[in-house]
Amino acid sequence: MGQDQSEIFNGLKDARSVDGTDTRAIPAFVFGEELADLAEHDPRIVVLTADLGRSNRALDFAARHPGRFVNVGIAEKNMVTIAAGMASCGHLPFAATFGSFAALLCAEQIRTDCAYPDLPVRIVGHHSGMSMGFYGTSHHSLEDLGMMRTIADLTVVCATDANHLRALLRLSLHHPHAMYLRLGRGRDPEVYDTVPDLRVGQAQTVRDGSNLTIIATGSEVHPALRAAEILAERGVSARVVDMWTISPLDRDAVLDAANTTGAILTVEEGNLTGGLGTAVAEVLFDADARVPFRRHGVPDEHVPVGPPAGLYAHYRLDAPGIVAVAEELLTTSEGDAT
Amino acid sequence: MPTAAEELADRAKFVRTETVRLTRIAGAGHYSAVFSCAELLAVLYYHQLRVDPRRPDWPERDRFVLSKGHAAIGLYPVLADLGYFDPSELDTYTRLGSPFGDHPDMKKIPGVDFSSGSLGHGLSVSVGMALAARMSTLDYRTYCMLGDGELAEGQVWEAAMSARHFGLGNLVAIVDANQLGIDGFVRDVMPAEPIEERFAAFGWQTHRVDGHDIKALLDVFAALPDSDGRVPQLIVAETVKGKGVQRMELSPDWHVGNLVGTDYDDVMAELRHEEVR
């Protein structure tokens, strides 16, 4: 499948990333390709999708392992529960569909059939956040982090870029619990130039700083890094933490940020109710860590129609927007101190 | 020397009496949904399923998914009787920390192949198990028991559609058509019939049987084609919710209930001494 055709199937003529980078040069979704590589050495791996094998590139897996690929058609709940049945028989299933359908439509199947029996099912919710742009509310996945992280025995992780996704898939082979893997649209600019060594529950500090910590996840890590560069030019030293491990959250990284940098800004491509910012706030509150703090993301509303980059700018989730919010936070906290 | 059918009838009676005994411990429970499938459970576990209680995790065992998980109280005594665990453990039923709740938990109870409770999921689980058998080239069968009221859940039909597409002749769905849900007759609340026609339209081979007639049940299981076929098999078992206890038969009042005082003794006497009508 050619790049242009893939764009059509992704439904995203706007090939810019969160912060306006032209992403046409970025390697297409590595999900199917990486799993196909891993499956050469791991006979447990099976891949399921619900008529979205083109979008998530599961067809790259199917081309090499046709006997281990299951397309259930447009029946996401059936897909997740079939995966659970297969996991109970020793397989390691990866069930992939748009994040909104995976988390919202199949929340009960994920909890009751995967997490409660503690089965190693990997639910892959891709095209997360607002990356579907003008497709609208039905295709936006803004509530998934808030919903998924309330489920016991479900590990919730977010992919940052292609190398990070490869790391998550490799890590998942040895993880004993059910996982929700939140993936962007597969066109996130590079944050990691090699495949990082990841441990569940351990965030990655991708830039150090002393005046402020920006805790971001998924597709917001790259614009957070660019925001830190802009802030540095203005004399503000910002640490950037990639909080890819949402459940369990890296509490130590949060409290260390509070102790050593003071102010904390969380940035996420999702509804502010219940997501990353809420999770960080819980840690700070429970530890009685009183630092200037702000949650930045999508307010509790249905977002307007528009191309993805337009939506990110609208909600100040691009690099200039994050800079503006960070400066507001620091100005406000200085005002509080005087 | 009793015949095989007589022995199985005795085991069905055992399922019913144990259900009444354990429900007394809990103070309330699902009598009537168990009573409708007592003969089915007896025939499956004491005759049909290829299982080994000494090896609950044996990869080649037949799988059984109790999609109508609220009949778990009838399954537990069978598993104990077969030797999966000590029968005395059953007396903890529903107590704090007990492995035995109102719905089966695969992580806590040896012999339970999948946890259930929320209706409509079991057939999808079973499709996954049957697919796993195909991919592992194992010849076990997967049996799934659903209620007829449960057929109103849309996911059942997603699973039914996929089973034929994937050529799962190693999958057997059994509908315990006991005619009643919580709010009344299935035919009034949301009709499930014609069950065979509906499954047949999805490409299944169907069978209908009196679910309380042990001989007929043995015959229908014996008539199943080899598991390496491509056509999933459906058995509609016509049953009576509450079968075996006159006051409970086809009475919506006994979906969940409790027997107290002399009522308990009367029902136990009725179950022990009377033949199933």
pLDDT band at B3 (very low <50, low <70, confident <90, very high): confident
- List, for residues A114-127, the tens digit of each pLDDT value: 999 999 999 999 99
Higher-confidence residue of B28 and A75: namely A75
Sheet holding B142-147, edge to edge: B63-66, B142-147, B171-177, B233-238, B205-210
pLDDT band at A330 (very low <50, low <70, confident <90, very high): very high
- What pTM was estimated for this model as a whole? 0.94
What's the average model confidence in pLDDT over B13-25?
94
pLDDT band at A26 (very low <50, low <70, confident <90, very high): low
* Residue B63 with chain A: CB contacts under 8 Å: 89
What's the average model confidence in pLDDT over B186-207?
98
With helix as H, strand as E and coil as C, how does chain A read?
CCHHHHHHHHCCCCCECCCCCECCCCCCCCHHHHHHHHHCCCCCEEEEECCCCCCCCHHHHHHHCHHHEEECCCCHHHHHHHHHHHHCCCCEEEEEEEHHHHHHHCHHHHHHHHHCCCCCCEEEEECCECCCHHHCHHHCECCHHHHHCCCCCEEEEECCCHHHHHHHHHHHCCCCCEEEEECCCCCCCCCCCCCCCCCCCCCEEEECCCCEEEEECHHHHHHHHHHHHHHHHCCCCEEEEECCEEECCCHHHHHHHHHHCCEEEEEEEEECCCCHHHHHHHHHHHCCCCCCEEEEEECCCCCCCCCHHHHHHHCCCCHHHHHHHHHHHHHHHHHHHC
Asked if pLDDT for residue B112 goes beyond 70, the answer is yes
pLDDT band at A13 (very low <50, low <70, confident <90, very high): low
What's the average model confidence in pLDDT over A49-64?
95
* Residue A113 with chain B: CB contacts under 8 Å: 115, 121, 124-125
Instruction: Compute the mean pLDDT over every residue in chain A, rounded to the nearest whole number.
Output: 93
Asked if pLDDT for residue A6 goes beyond 50, the answer is no
Whole-number Å distance between alpha carbons of A180 and A38: 19
**Which of B107, B158, B162 comes nearest A117 by C-beta?**
B107
Write down the pLDDT at residue A27. 63
Asked if pLDDT for residue A275 goes beyond 90, the answer is yes
What's the average model confidence in pLDDT over A324-338?
83
Q: How long is chain B?
A: 277
- List, for residues A147-157, the tens digit of each pLDDT value: 999 999 999 99
Write down the pLDDT at residue A14. 59
How many CB pairs lie under 8 A apart between chains A and B? 94
What's the average model confidence in pLDDT over B144-152?
98
Cβ-based neighbours of A209, under 8 Å, separated by 6 or more:
A228, A232, A237, A238, A239, A240, A261
What's the average model confidence in pLDDT over B41-49?
98
A101 burial (CB, 10 Å; 0-12 / 13-18 / 19+) is buried
Write down the pLDDT at residue B276. 46
Asked if pLDDT for residue A3 goes beyond 90, the answer is no
Closest CA of chain B from A139, distance in Å: 21
pLDDT band at A10 (very low <50, low <70, confident <90, very high): very low
What's the average model confidence in pLDDT over A182-192?
91
Pick the range with the lowest mean pLDDT from A46-50, A161-165, A281-285, B269-273: B269-273
Inform me whether the C-beta atom of residue B114 falls under 8 Å from chain A C-beta atoms.
Answer: yes
pLDDT band at A186 (very low <50, low <70, confident <90, very high): confident
pLDDT band at A336 (very low <50, low <70, confident <90, very high): low
Instruction: Compute the mean pLDDT over every residue in chain B, rounded to the nearest whole number.
Output: 95
Inform me whether the C-beta atom of residue B264 falls under 8 Å from chain A C-beta atoms.
Answer: no
Inform me whether the C-beta atom of residue B161 falls under 8 Å from chain A C-beta atoms.
Answer: yes
Write down the pLDDT at residue B255. 83
* Residue B153 with chain A: CB contacts under 8 Å: none
Q: What is the CA radius of gyration of chain B?
A: 18
**Which of B106, B123, B135 to mutate to probe the A interface, most A CBs <10 Å?**
B135
Helix (H) or strand (E) holding B128: helix B122-136
Are the beta carbons of A84 and B59 separated by less than 8 Å? no
Closest CA of chain A from B199, distance in Å: 17
Interface of chain A toward chain B, CB-CB under 8 angstroms = 46, 67-68, 70, 72-73, 75, 77-78, 81-91, 93, 108-109, 112-113, 116-118
3 state SS of B30? coil
